[in-house]
């Protein structure tokens, strides 16, 4: 960890945000039942117990995406990260967990670290993850088999690396949106929101 004890550098902020995404995405997958609960194991992070997957393929995929995302966070070229949950039978998008990223471009490699304690940032992250867990209570049930995908919104002129390709935004037809909490490291600000398909019964 390159976060200095005195403040937050650009690299440290990128690592904090990437770590949050790693645990956040795992939480979403566990809470929504995309993967069976027995494939998850309990770990302690941010002073709370979270679920982390043990499936090797899934782990591999997540580390690929998160490591690439960390690079882009360092370059301040990423704008959003979206977890898209699709029903496999009907190929419809049922849920979209969207995380908007605002990067302070004045913080470059060599600039002075910003004054914010890591504990405060972790406190904010904890409240965000708790809220994600709480929102599951009012989201409609995912009854059919579902799969997920991670989309990243970047600047238009970014060079697309190998193994990545352009895709559509995979929007929900007739969606309800809910804004969740946000947290900031003073260099990166993450706004969370969830959009879900309106069910006709409600």
Find all residues with CB under 8 Å of 35, minimum gap 6, and list them: 29, 53, 55, 58
3-state secondary structure of 172: coil
Euclidean distance between CA atoms 128 and 123, whole angstroms: 9
Strands 188-197 and 175-184, bridge-based pairing: antiparallel
How far the first Cα of the chain sits from its last, in Å, is 47
Span near other proteins by CB under 8 A; candidates 14-22, 38-46, 121-129, 149-157:
149-157
Return the number of the residue (14 or 78) whose C-beta is nearest other proteins: 78
Judge whether 26 and 124 are in contact, CB under 8 Å. no
Return the number of the residue (118 or 193) whose C-beta is nearest other proteins: 193
Among 80, 126, 130, 189, binds other proteins (CB under 8 A): 80
Span near other proteins by CB under 8 A; candidates 8-16, 17-25, 37-45, 152-160:
152-160
User: Containing H/E element for 15?
Assistant: helix 10-31
Among 14, 25, 187, 195, binds other proteins (CB under 8 A): 195
- Closest approach, Cβ 51 to other proteins, in A, equals 17
90 binds other proteins (CB under 8 A): no
DSSP code for 173: S
167 binds other proteins (CB under 8 A): yes
- Closest approach, Cβ 85 to other proteins, in A, equals 9
Euclidean distance between CA atoms 160 and 165, whole angstroms: 7
71 binds other proteins (CB under 8 A): no
The residues binding other proteins (CB under 8 A) are 58, 61, 64-65, 79-80, 82, 84, 86, 88, 91, 96, 98, 100, 145, 147-156, 158, 160, 163-172, 175, 177, 179, 193, 195
């Amino acid at each position: 960890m390159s976060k200095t004890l005195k403040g937050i550098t650009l690299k440290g902020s990128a690592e904090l945000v990437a770590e949050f995404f790693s645990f956040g995405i795992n939480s979403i997958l566990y809470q929504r039942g995309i993967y069976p609960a027995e494939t998850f194991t309990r770990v302690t992070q941010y002073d709370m117990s979270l679920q982390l997957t043990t499936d090797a393929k899934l782990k591999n995929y997540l580390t690929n995406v998160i490591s690439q995302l960390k690079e882009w966070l360092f370059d301040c070229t990423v704008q959003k990260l979206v977890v898209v949950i699709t029903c496999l039978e009907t190929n419809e998008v049922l849920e979209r967990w969207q995380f908007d990223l605002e990067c302070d471009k004045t913080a470059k490699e060599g600039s002075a670290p910003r004054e914010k304690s890591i504990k405060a940032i972790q406190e904010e992250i904890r409240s965000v993850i708790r809220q994600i867990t709480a929102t599951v209570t009012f989201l409609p049930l995912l009854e059919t088999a579902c799969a997920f995908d991670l989309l990243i919104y970047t600047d238009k002129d970014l060079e697309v690396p190998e193994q990545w390709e352009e895709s559509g935004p995979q929007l929900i037809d007739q969606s309800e949106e809910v804004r969740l909490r946000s947290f900031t490291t003073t260099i990166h600000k993450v706004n969370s929101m969830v959009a879900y398909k309106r069910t006709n019964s409600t």
